[in-house]
């Protein structure tokens, strides 16, 4: 109580001034149409600004949920497109097939760990055998090649990144169809090297590099990147530098690709060998 009385005694002039100022503003705003309108508009602007800031904060905190929903929608659309394309272009497929002869099925996943600054990089996703994932499934991100699953637990999977010295993928130049082997040289995380392209092949800077579909892992036509440079190292083949489509420092959501006919292809390959 004594502290309160001391406070009122010390600031009594300021308190009285503020009270009188408030009364003056009140009468000015309520008794005069012009000042009333300006006051109301000022209050509205302050209110709208405050509400907009609150809305922006709520939207920011919901970004994670929004991204997960978008990733799920993209995966569903990719599966639908795959079914429609396979169904419409395949005259001799049996209509009794429960998956409409769909060769590839996609499921979305989120990264829980990632590395880009090593010679052999891996990343971990938040789905495993419980979700139907298994070894040798392809992973794509933003429509580009990202990696291949090399191990699974019940709830998580580890994938070999394209940024790994052991990673190889069959890739071709979209403009002419010539294919070779694409790998990473361990230097720039944004660039890889396409080799085994004969020197008589004509192509240009900016040409698209994509997967061939010659393996049981990646579907055909998945973008890898674009040609940024090339050289003739003295052999009969080019050394082509490819700017990767996927930025591995920004990986967050990915699509895991399940080849429904992978086992059939592997068994056939064993018979040939």
Q: What are the pLDDT digits (tens) for 120-140?
A: 999 999 999 999 999 999 999
**Residue 265 is part of a domain; what is its CATH number?**
2.40.10.340
Q: Are residues 261 and 197 in the same domain?
A: yes
pLDDT digits (tens, 9 = 90+) for 188-215: 999 999 999 999 999 999 999 999 988 8
For the chain, the domain total comes to 2
pLDDT one-digit tens code per residue, 139-191 = 999 889 999 999 999 999 999 999 999 999 999 999 999 999 999 999 999 99
Could you tell me the pLDDT band of residue 117, with boundaries at 50, 70 and 90?
Answer: very high
Residues 20 and 140 in one domain: no
Confidence of residue 96 (pLDDT cuts 50, 70, 90): very low
The burial of 42, by beta-carbon neighbours within 10 Å (0-12 exposed, 13-18 middle, 19 or more buried), is given as exposed
Structural domain for 206, as ranges: 100-273
11 & 132 share domain:
no
Tell whether 50 and 141 lie within a shared domain: no
Q: Is residue 83 in some structural domain?
A: no
Q: Kindly state whether residues 199 and 107 are assigned to the same domain.
A: yes
Residues 226, 106 share a domain: yes
Is the pLDDT confidence value at 231 over 50? yes
pTM of the model: 0.64
- Residue 75 in any domain: the answer is no
Instruction: Give 67's contacts (C-beta < 8 A, 6+ positions apart).
Output: 252, 253
Claim to verify: residue 142 and residue 272 sit in the same structural domain: yes
């Amino acid at each position: 109580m004594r502290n309160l009385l001391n406070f009122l005694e010390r600031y009594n002039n300021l308190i009285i001034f503020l009270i009188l100022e408030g009364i003056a503003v009140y009468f000015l705003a309520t008794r005069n149409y012009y000042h009333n309108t300006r006051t109301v508009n000022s209050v509205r602007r302050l209110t709208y600004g405050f509400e907009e800031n609150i809305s922006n904060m709520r939207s920011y905190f919901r970004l994670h949920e929004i991204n997960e929903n978008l990733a799920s929608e993209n995966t569903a659309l990719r599966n639908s497109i795959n079914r429609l394309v396979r169904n419409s272009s395949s005259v001799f497929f049996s209509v009794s097939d429960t998956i409409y002869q769909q060769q590839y099925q996609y499921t979305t996943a989120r990264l829980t760990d990632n590395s880009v600054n090593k010679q052999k990089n891996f990343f971990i996703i938040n789905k495993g055998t419980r979700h139907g994932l298994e070894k040798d499934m392809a992973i794509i991100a933003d429509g580009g090649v990202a990696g291949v699953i090399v191990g699974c637990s019940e709830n998580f999977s580890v994938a070999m990144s394209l940024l790994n010295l052991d990673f190889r993928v069959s890739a071709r130049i979209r403009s002419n169809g010539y294919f070779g082997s694409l790998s990473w040289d361990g230097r720039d995380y944004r660039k890889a090297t396409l080799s085994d392209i004969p020197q008589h092949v004509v192509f240009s800077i900016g040409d698209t590099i994509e997967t061939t579909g010659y393996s049981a892992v990646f579907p055909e036509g998945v973008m890898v990147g674009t040609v940024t440079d090339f050289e003739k190292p003295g052999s009969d083949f080019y050394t082509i530098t490819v700017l990767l489509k996927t930025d591995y420092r920004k990986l967050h959501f990915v699509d895991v690709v399940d080849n429904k006919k992978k086992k059939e292809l592997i068994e056939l390959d064993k018979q040939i060998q």
